[in-house]
Amino acid sequence: MASASLVRGQGGVSRVEVLLGESVGRIAPEIYGHFVENLGGVVYDGIWVGEGSSIPNTGGIRNDVVAALKRVRPSVIRWPGGCFADSYDWHDGTGPRAGRPKRTNFWVDSAEWPSTANKTGPQVFDPNQFGTVEFARFCRAVGAQPYLAANLRSLPAQDFWHWVEYCNSPAGSTTNALKRASDGEAAPLGVQYWGVGNESWGCGGNFSPEDYAIEFKRYSAWVPKYGLPFSMIGSGPNGGDNEWTRKFFQKAATQRGLGAMWGWGLHHYSWNTSAGKTTDWFAGKGDALRFTREEHYELLREASLMEGLIQSHWAAMGDVDRGHRVKLVVDEWGSWHKPGTEPFPEALIGQQNTVRDAVLAGLTLNLFHRHAEKVAMANIAQLVNCLQSLFLVHEDKFCVTPTYHVFGMYAEHQGADSVRTVVATPSISWGRAVGLEGLNASASVRGKRAVVTVVNPSFDGAREVGVRVHGGRVASAVGTVLTSSDPHHHNTWTNPRAVEPGALSVRVQGDTLRCTLPASAVAKLVLELG
């Protein structure tokens, strides 16, 4: 984050300077995207219960998840993976549900399965009840656009073409359009966003960037558009691997293969390395619920690296794509904790979600706003029962997580104009966590209304904050805050409202708003401008 010295924090007061006249760019609503992979308890139990279920559902899709998700205005949802995508045959999820094939899920051999998990159910042997039209209906029910990730590792390019045809060709025009109609959707599904593989450097085929550039071109060339908006997303780097980006763009440009690309994927997860086993993918992570002050800061510091990743990949892309036609799509981000807090044993890579995770979400979304001209979409991983989820659900049990509330509080930023926001505050260094911003903020404007979101990452210290608005007069301000007396606090099925937003007292003094941000807090100030 740019922590320029416009105004130094004085007298213990941290300063946030909001420059209304300096637009960064429009905040793409798609930054508020989600991710649904057919992994553990995300789809089966998390979203899909089937029409015959006693759990209230509409066409097999849980009503509780739909109703709550709608409230936070999800813009786009990515499916079916993740690593799962590169093993998925979309044909399996079409046709009458009773006749669909049962397949072994990509995640069958994951080392993270709890020993108590039942490994005979739909999380392991996929009955394909939730296919393309079921996913499209879920998206429609919550008001989100679908984003499909195509299989590049194990299916030919022709299948990608045919999936596009199944989704988007006009009613009655093709055999695949008729197939879609017999699955209950005569009109085109109008899928705009298409991922061409996933993590092609890893589970998506272990390609080199040059080889992936050739594959990308083969898959993306001459795909029919049917006059509909159509945006293809390339499978980008693993975190800070700038060379992957650079080499891909160089190779793709020489092959005239960049033309079809709208977005370049970037994945960045945050985890603790306190176990000291950083080479062990799973055991090297920290616990979702039991963490020290140092681990608290370490996790948030890891998340804050997102800013450098956005900047360095943007620079590498710009070496070739000089006009920056291609934007960044951060289609997987969030916290990743070690096994042990899954909501139920079949929820592979499921984890609890505390106030610390909410702070991570608020901080990351602020970074996306601050780079609104670069980031065109982002998808937190994952929506239900997996990684940094918004919901923990199982059978008839349901609760939202603190992270859900951040998405609700921030929803108003969607589509507004991000304006430059400069923070002056001492940074935090604690053990392994060195140089974490002491305060993190972003602001957006729409007409006479501005929204400022401010995150206090401190483990236990409140902060006096002065927010000064340049270029406008503040007529009134209303504050909301998500916090708790302890960053370990979280919601459970028996105590589902332990963490939820409340009012934040804000004083307007001329062009400055004053408030006290509690420790580990995500705050929103809504300003009416005079």
Catalytic positions are: 199, 332
The C-alpha atoms of residue 492 and residue 219 are separated, in whole angstroms, by 44
First to last CA, the chain: 29
Site for ligand AHR in 382-441 (CB under 6 A): 382, 387
- Scanning 77-85, 95-103, 156-164, 517-525 for contacts with ligand AHR by CB under 6 A, the matching segment is 77-85
Which backbone phi and psi does 208 adopt, to 5 degrees?
A: -85, 160
Indicate the DSSP class of residue 117: -
Binding of ligand AHR by 126 (CB under 6 A): no
The C-alpha atoms of residue 243 and residue 264 are separated, in whole angstroms, by 14
8 A C-beta contact, residue 353 and residue 4: no
Residue 265 CB, nearest approach to ligand AHR (Å): 9
Binding of ligand AHR by 199 (CB under 6 A): yes
Binding of ligand AHR by 146 (CB under 6 A): no
Of 30 and 332, the one with the shorter C-beta distance to ligand AHR is 332
As beta bridge partners, residue 246 has none
DSSP-H helix ranges across 10-128: 63-71
209 cis-preceded (ω within 30 degrees of 0): no
Binding of ligand AHR by 81 (CB under 6 A): yes
The C-alpha atoms of residue 125 and residue 108 are separated, in whole angstroms, by 8
Of 45 and 199, the one with the shorter C-beta distance to ligand AHR is 199
Burial class (CB in 10 A: 0-12, 13-18, 19+), 175: exposed
Q: Of all residues in this chain, which one has the CB nearest to ligand AHR in the complex?
A: 82
Give the residue among 128, 114, 141 at the shortest CA–CA distance from 345: 114
- Scanning 78-86, 117-125, 271-279, 355-363 for contacts with ligand AHR by CB under 6 A, the matching segment is 78-86
Residue 248 CB, nearest approach to ligand AHR (Å): 17
Residue 398 CB, nearest approach to ligand AHR (Å): 22
Residue 255 CB, nearest approach to ligand AHR (Å): 25
Binding of ligand AHR by 237 (CB under 6 A): no
Binding of ligand AHR by 332 (CB under 6 A): yes
Residue 198 CB, nearest approach to ligand AHR (Å): 5
Of 387 and 450, the one with the shorter C-beta distance to ligand AHR is 387
Of 379 and 444, the one with the shorter C-beta distance to ligand AHR is 379
Of 347 and 381, the one with the shorter C-beta distance to ligand AHR is 381
- Scanning 81-89, 162-170, 300-308, 447-455 for contacts with ligand AHR by CB under 6 A, the matching segment is 81-89
Instruction: By CB under 6 A, name the one of 60, 82, 350, 402 that touches ligand AHR.
Output: 82
Instruction: By CB under 6 A, name the one of 123, 198, 458, 520 that touches ligand AHR.
Output: 198
Residue 2 CB, nearest approach to ligand AHR (Å): 29
8 A C-beta contact, residue 515 and residue 504: yes
Of 157 and 383, the one with the shorter C-beta distance to ligand AHR is 383
As beta bridge partners, residue 417 has 26, 445
Residue 462 CB, nearest approach to ligand AHR (Å): 34
C-alpha 334 chain-centroid distance: 7
Of 36 and 451, the one with the shorter C-beta distance to ligand AHR is 36
Instruction: By CB under 6 A, name the one of 31, 65, 77, 83 that touches ligand AHR.
Output: 83
Structure tokens at 386: 């997996």
Helix pair angle (293-304, 306-320), 10° resolution: 20
Residue 387 CB, nearest approach to ligand AHR (Å): 6
| Per-residue three-class SS string for 232-282 | EEECCCECCCHHHHHHHHHHHHHCCCCCCEEEEEEEEEECCCCCCCCCCCC
H/E stretch holding 364 reads helix 355-370
Site for ligand AHR in 31-70 (CB under 6 A): 37
At position 359, the amino acid (one-letter code) is V
- Scanning 23-31, 79-87, 283-291, 475-483 for contacts with ligand AHR by CB under 6 A, the matching segment is 79-87
- Scanning 44-52, 160-168, 381-389, 422-430 for contacts with ligand AHR by CB under 6 A, the matching segment is 381-389
- Scanning 90-98, 380-388, 469-477, 492-500 for contacts with ligand AHR by CB under 6 A, the matching segment is 380-388
Residues that bind ligand AHR (rule: CB under 6 A) add up to a total of 10
Local structure of 384: helix, strand or coil: strand
Residue 123 CB, nearest approach to ligand AHR (Å): 14
Cβ count near 463 (within 10 Å): 22
Of 287 and 332, the one with the shorter C-beta distance to ligand AHR is 332
Local structure of 332: helix, strand or coil: strand
Instruction: By CB under 6 A, name the one of 139, 266, 381, 451 that touches ligand AHR.
Output: 381
The secondary structure of 130-151 as a DSSP string is S-HHHHHHHHHHHT-EEEEEE-
Reported in sequence order, the residue ranges of 271-401 that DSSP labels E, i.e. its strands, are 327-335, 375-381, 391-394, 397-400
Site for ligand AHR, rule CB under 6 A:
37, 81-83, 198-199, 332, 381-382, 387
